[in-house]
Amino acid sequence: MGKTTGFMEYERQSQRERDPSERTKDWVDYTAPMTEDEIKKQGARCMDCGVPTCHTGTEINGSTTGCPVNHLIPEWNDLVYRGQWKAALEKEHEKNNFPEFTGIACPAPCEGACVLGINESPVAIRTVERSIIERGFEEGWVKPEPPSKRTGKKIAVVGSGPAGMAAAAQLNKAGHWVTVYERHDRVGGLLTYGIPEMKLSYEIVERRVKILEAEGIEFVTNTEVGKDVTEEQLRADFDSVILCGGSTVHRNIPAEGRELKGIHYAMDFLHQNTKSLLDSNHEDGNYISAKDKDVIVIGGGDTGTDCLATSVRHNCKSLTQFDIYDKKLSARDDEDNPWPQWPIVHRVEYGHKEAAAVLGDDPRAYAVMTKKFVGDENGHVKEVHTVNVKLRYENGKKIRDEIPGTEKVWPADLVLLAIGFKGPEQDLIKQLGVETTERSTVKAEYGKYTTNVEGVFAAGDVRRGQSLIVWAINEGREAARECDRYLMGTTELP
Ligand SMILES: Cc1cc2nc3c(=O)[nH]c(=O)nc-3n(C[C@H](O)[C@H](O)[C@H](O)COP(=O)(O)OP(=O)(O)OC[C@H]3O[C@@H](n4cnc5c(N)ncnc54)[C@H](O)[C@@H]3O)c2cc1C
Ligand code: SF4
């Protein structure tokens, strides 16, 4: 531990951001750089706890707390404080193949579990994490490291999201030949076509993909396994398969008027926006535009926030985000939600700040349930009808009672459904004969990742259901370990 009094001397400073009214004029990273001295002070705040609760990821009450990849957080905090950046980078890479993805976009369950957070602001762990890996790239320390020996075994990874990329990276390290199949035209899964450019740019994904390619991994895009590559081809060409196809079946709102034009899944909006932006700087016009529209985003999570930030950049006329939950407390409730649980508190994310800066107010409406959509004479949505609800539990089940007199009509020409995903697509899973759970995710035990089909493993959202980048990386790494054990009889992968 570098500075024993650091946590008393220095205030928490998390990632700086550009001015929200300025940054919404472009699609460039919304954050701003920090000085080396600022980052060192954040490292110095770490107390090197006897039980570093930040370091171990687990789930309590359905939320993640602590780091799922078991990052060596106290170690790299100390090294950063001492200015030993290269050693800090090595510690980061020991546990996480892609700290640049988590350093940018992880909600940081490590910070929720940080001991300093009991009576102070937690250590700005994610900010330190990001600074280490960026320094590594700037200094040229992150280089391809191809394995010295090849085993001759071949593995197909289906899906190039963080789970697939992590599995591929680890299996390649063990000397296997890895081919990653991706049905879209670009690699990265939801890192590329879910999270928008200003939060996590494709350049960051591509920078890592180039390193993985130079290490010997083959990425095959525009190729859907199950259609363009058949199950027989997989069996003939590969010794093992890892399913990392994500959890992409949309959740819908089966309300009256759902079929109207102008109502879209958030993912279609976000995917098309990023593709058009990357392909042609939006000149091809192949995206759903929010320009001059009254936009309603249904869903209070991260995807909804990404829709806000995207709509503001399109110059929408108005913007409202419906959250089915009540507004949360500003500080954690120590009785119901004690440390080290993930703090359930009101958060103001980048998209909320941007909407407020450009349109004048925080765009959220709370405890709002959509009742129906009403269209104009051309079959285009023009209104969303809602009612406020009160949540209660009956035998552990959520019941939402409508509050009489709270009915409201909202003008809308674009409605975006950001209410999550039901589970993975089933075609390939069925073709392979892989068993699923009652949630339609692939049945494979956490830590083992084996399915009922010999040689077929599963990791990430396809196994866990809709989750986080950091869990996808954790599962990809561990599935690689189990696959290596299956192929070689033993493994040295972590
Ligand atoms: C809009 C949005 C924002 C998010 N923001 C965050 C965030 O800020 N922080 C965070 O931690 N998490 C976030 N998440 C969640 C996170 O992105 C996912 O949990 C994570 O990407 C899952 O990784 P994965 O590799 O399992 O699957 P994915 O990232 O979904 O990747 C799966 C890939 O497999 C491909 N594929 C599927 N089937 C086939 C097939 N048969 N053949 C070939 N390819 C196939 C798909 O095209 C896709 O590219 C967000 C999710 C969304 C939707
Ligand atoms: S819990 Fe917080 S203070 Fe303790 S070691 Fe982890 S980051 Fe440092």
Q: How many angstroms separate the CA atoms of 9 and 120, rounded? A: 12
252-419 folds as FAD/NAD(P)-binding domain (3.50.50)
**Ligand 1 proximity of 242 Cβ (cutoff 6 Å):** no
**What is the distance in A from the centroid of ligand 1 to the CA of 416?**
19
Q: How many angstroms separate the CA atoms of 350 and 357, rounded? A: 11
**What is the distance in A from the centroid of ligand 1 to the CA of 329?**
30
Same fold, 6-139 and 252-419: no
**Ligand 1 proximity of 442 Cβ (cutoff 6 Å):** no
Contact predicate 186/221, CB 8 Å:
yes
Q: Which two tokens stand for residue 477?
A: 């790494």
Ligand 2 atom, smallest distance to 117 CA: 2
**What is the distance in A from the centroid of ligand 1 to the CA of 208?**
16
Dihedral pair phi/psi, residue 432, rounded to 5°? -80, -10
Give the residues surrounding ligand 2 with Cβ less than 6 Å away.
46-49, 52-54, 73-74, 77, 114-116, 123, 125
Which ligand has the nearest atom to the CA of 227? 1
Beta strands in 30-127 (DSSP E): 58-60, 63-65
Which ligand has the nearest atom to the CA of 161? 1
Contact predicate 79/135, CB 8 Å:
no
Burial of 62 (0-12, 13-18, 19+ CB in 10 A): exposed
**Ligand 1 proximity of 270 Cβ (cutoff 6 Å):** yes
CA distances from 377 to 107, 261, 370, 381, 413 (A): 43, 11, 21, 10, 13
**What is the distance in A from the centroid of ligand 2 to the CA of 9?**
16
pLDDT 10s digits, 355-406: 999 999 999 999 999 999 999 999 999 999 999 999 999 988 999 999 999 9
Q: How many angstroms separate the CA atoms of 288 and 416, rounded? A: 10
- What is the homologous superfamily of the domain 6-139 according to CATH? Alpha-helical ferredoxin (1.10.1060.10)
Residues of the chain with pLDDT under 70: 2
Contact predicate 494/481, CB 8 Å:
yes
Tokens 């000397």 correspond to 175
Task: Give the three-state DSSP class for 235.
Answer: helix
Q: What is the pLDDT of residue 3?
A: 86
pLDDT 10s digits, 334-343: 999 999 999 9
**What is the distance in A from the centroid of ligand 1 to the CA of 194?**
7
**What is the distance in A from the centroid of ligand 1 to the CA of 246?**
5
Which ligand has the nearest atom to the CA of 115? 2
Q: In b/e form, how buried is each residue of 407-428, taking b as 16+ CB within 10 angstroms?
A: eeebebbbbbbbbbbebbeeeb
Ligand 1 atom, smallest distance to 181 CA: 43
Most informative mutation of 3, 49, 80, 129 for ligand 2 (most atoms within 8 A of CB): 49
Dihedral pair phi/psi, residue 72, rounded to 5°? -85, 65
* Helices 302-313, 350-359: crossing angle, 10 deg rounding: 30
Task: Give the three-state DSSP class for 458.
Answer: strand
Q: What is the pLDDT of residue 61?
A: 86
**What is the distance in A from the centroid of ligand 1 to the CA of 27?**
21
154-248+422-488 folds as FAD/NAD(P)-binding domain (3.50.50)
pTM value > 0.75 = yes
Contact predicate 262/413, CB 8 Å:
yes
Contact predicate 274/196, CB 8 Å:
yes
Q: Which two tokens stand for residue 336?
A: 């119901």
Q: What is the pLDDT of residue 62?
A: 87
- Residue at 117: amino acid letter: G
What is the domain partition of the chain in residue ranges?
Answer: 6-139, 154-248+422-488, 252-419
